[in-house]
Structure 1
Amino acid sequence: MYTPFKNRLALLSLFALLCLPVSLSAQLLGAAASDAKETVQEVPKDSLGRDNPRSTVDGFLNAMGDQNYNRASQYLTLRRSVRRSSQKKKVVQAFQRLLDTGGDFYASSLLSNKATGRTDDDLEPNTDQVGKITVGEDEINLYVENTAGEGKPPVWRFTQETVDDVTSINIKSDLLIDKVLPASMRERRLWGVPVGHWLAVIAIGILSYLVAWGLISLLGTILSKFWKKEKREKATAIIQAFEQPVRLYLAVRLFVAVSLQVGISIIVRQKFNTIIFTATIFAFLILLWRLTDYLSIYTQQRMTLRKRLSAISVILFLRRMAKIVIVVIGVIAVLSAVGFDVTTWLAALGIGGIALALGAQKTVENFVGSVTLIADQPIRVGDFCKVGEIKGTVESIGMRSTRLRTPERTIVTIPNGLFSSNNIENYAHRDKFFFNPVLEFRMETTPAQLRYLLVEIRTMFYSHPKVSNEPAKVRFGGLTASGYKIEINAYIEAPNIDTAEEVEEDLYLRILDIVAASGTDFAYPSQTLYMARDKGIDEDKTRLAAEKVQHWVDTDDLQLPAFDPERIEALKDKIQYPPKGSISAKEE
């Protein structure tokens, strides 16, 4: 199709106008992106590694070891008047001499490796204490501070006050180790320190341990002499528990004190600081380990003497758990001492502990239940007890469960968590056995016969040597649908349930004799049909019972509603038990 020239020109103009904003916006976006890149650029770190207190101390010591005093001076905040290299060298050498004489840096693991320094101390922000110098009566605290401006990368240096305090003290006398060592050992260097210092450290370490060994051995011998002969074994066990850890700790303290006094280089001592700190941790862990063994053995012996054998398994389990905890704490402490960051590990350990606790909830519950059973001792092995609806004899009390043997001779295993939370009825430790029958007599029973029964049954209880001296209660309890009710409440004195059952049997037989002598009989259920063969009530015995009760009334000797105390005293132990004719009576 033909298009006039003017139309084509108009179309080109429109196209140019549409494309112009797009290109401009693209340029603007490109410029903004380049600006953003420039703002995101990381700020370079300090070339000397003065990013935190720990790296500042390490860098300062390394520079002194390399005898690069100019670099070492850059770790110090110096006055403006100190500009020349010779002046800087003089300040650093004074610092090093004081540190060799009586100074000490904290162990590297105790120094902060964070850009902010320690935030949990009482010092001002961006200021940390990293050590101390003691010369005679003078004491200088060594501080470092972040000297960078706000918004700039941290640069930690020793504070100007610390440098001024150090340079204000002048020591003229030579170090003891420099006087003793030959020139060859002072001139030859290893890692920036005279070889003689390294050899002296090894010698001091060996001598410190030997001295500590001798002192502790002598002290242990002296202490054991003061204990009585019967307690000598116990004293020896206590001394052995403390001997090794105290010896190690004393050797460490002697090593630190002697190396400081003779003037061992601060560079050497700082490298041994981690070893010293680790050895102190080991001494404490060994002490805990030995005390755990001693306490568990001592407790086992006590439990064995008390015949609480079920407690021994719990003691052994607790000892294992305590040792596992000691090992875990020791590993974390040692890793922290050598410079590892254990914060992440502790967090993972905490999460793992929570997961383990949730997964082993029932196991922990059963363990706590077993500890409760052994501590409270509601039952022991051999006791006959009732737990919930289960009766049986306790055969074993384990860490997880308790086993009962039922009267049907089956074994029931009950988890200790469920066992300790249930009501436990222990039949094995009863001092008395409750005798509580309810007797029902026929409706034809006369009041005289009831009085006869009440008096004679009470008389029998007061006379029986195996019935408790507490007054036995024999009471007319009222009427039932079947007849008259007499309730009996008494306690049988017996050492165990078998003997109690024997006495109970004898009481029932004597009650039957009394009932037969009264002329009445026990009530039958109301649904029972009386047959022709039923003899009914014996008229002769009924008459005799009535006459006896009437005799009691006439002579004012009716022991109702209560027995005369003199009568009770006179009746005590009148009944022969075991009864005459039994094999038990023959044996007695």
Structure 2
Amino acid sequence: MNVDGFGRELAGCTGGKPFAILLLLLFACFVAPQTMMAQEPGSRRSASDLFDTIYDTAIGDSDRIHAYKTLVENPISPPDTKSPRATLESFLVIMRTATDLWVETRDQFFSNSNFFLTSKEKDQLELVSALLGKAALTFDMSAVPAASRERASVEIVLQMQEILDRVYLPALEEVPGVPAGLTQDNREPPERWTIPGTNLTIALQEDGPRAGEYLFTQGTVDRIPSDYDVIKALPIASDRGEDLYSYYIYTPGNLVAPQWYQYILSGPPWLQKTFSGQTVWQWAGMALLLLFSLIGIMLFARWNARRAVPVDPTLRQIRHVINPALLIVIANAFQFLCEEQINITGGLLVLLTTVTSVTIWTAAAWFTYQALQLIYLATSRSSAFNKASLDVSLIRTAFRVVSFLVAIIVLGYGATRIGIPIYGVVAGLGVGGLAIALAAQPTLENFIGGMILYADRIIRVGEFCQFEDMSGTVEEIGIRSTRIRALDRTLIIVSNADLAKRKIINYSQRDVFLFRHKIGLRYETESQVLRAIIADIRNLLEQSESVLEEPLRVRLIEYADFSILIDVYANIASTDLNAFLEVQEDLLISIRSIVENHGAGFAFPSSTVYLSRDQIPEPITDQAVSGHKEPGETSYSASGNSSKT
């Protein structure tokens, strides 16, 4: 007795060899008399009868027999789709061979009561999957997202098989076009042909990679699920006696249910009830998988948050890489278990595949960015990395930009995998890029400012610079801002756009250091001594190996308020500040020794105060005044009036 995965007896399943019918027909081609009668025009047949008729009409035609044999024995050969009849015949032949082998392998597995499939059974199921995939090539599946196309195509061909097993098909002579296996026909097939009594249409593909082939149209693919839901209650006209599509979607595993499914069958009957295309146990299993996945992510996030942050930047970056990698693993495991074990199908499968694909490809873009940053850190820390000849900050910025662009490319490719056309992705990136450019104008301005700093070589990491009202050592030139360490060890962050507009004095790019000092001698210094001091200082500078020959001058320049000023001007051949300060220190001490050896001294601000006693002037008398009177003028009276005579 043969039983299906539901534990039901199969009345019409013989369990014969997968190619027994084909071999018998090949034998009949050479030894049996050709006594069969052609179908009468206008007669109607079931899919099972039509399958038998296909082989009956091929008897005596070795080319057609070879073509049918190739269809079922060579999994990688394409179906014959040069006419509506060839497409329909290819589908029927492939599906009949696939379903017979499928049922035989399933019944053999359950009869042996093995917990795992044998290698032979695995090979047979792989052949069944390949044949189902080949049958799907007779459909235009271009509108189905690539991420779910493989599983969706299996459901489509199984539903189509069940529909054809419940309707009556026209005689082969009434199907337009050349039969499968023939290459010449005087009849010109129409561009479209619809199976009578249905809306299932086979049409000529006018463009695309399969132009010139007759395929079941996209509209047919879209309506097959609804047509199956309407017609599945009708009796099956074939000799299988069971609905293989129902067995496929309501049982776990891939094509053959595992042995543990018997425990579900022996459980409460309500576990087998269907809701929105899935059984109750499938809904429960998917919910548990989702719960365990979320718990795993939360536990890892909590454990990761409690760990000490590594001091080594490479180890910190490794932690950043692990996070998206773990998310990819969990999402793939969740999708695999839902598809291959719980066997979620239909619209829920499309939704689940879309959500997991979005998660996986988003995490993949995140992982790509972090992985490229890790490569940069590992490369920059390598002994082979020549830090003297490469601008480390520029390379770091370039890695960030490249990492971001590669992550965007990965994200765009993932968008095409979930069904978004490549043109839509490119257009979306263009529009999105314009929107981002408008919204992030300050950020782009800072980025361009950073590129200007790099291109002009104005500043580099490690250089000491003065930026108008601030100064410090450049620590990092990023995409948006530059970090400067001030002399008091405070960190100054300036946007690149603002920094590019500032007046910048780069002390680290000096080729020499200027040695210039004004020496003030006392006014008591004699002229001969002054000349000797100037000559000795000039000789000191000329004999020093650190002082350049030009320019070099030591001159008396001014008699100042409290000193005689000597200007000492020279360049020190050094680019290191510490080395310059050491040379300057030696020169200043030597100049002091010269001044002291000549008995002179340095002037300092002073002033001379002269003290003297002034004589008090005599009082003015009338006698003194009378000598200055004009004729006729009288003396002033006590009241202040004067008179003339």
Q: 1 or 2, which has the higher helix percentage?
A: 1
Range into which the TM-score falls when normalised by the shorter chain:
0.3 to 0.5
In the superposition, the TM-score normalised over structure 2's length comes to 0.36
In the superposition, the TM-score normalised over structure 1's length comes to 0.38
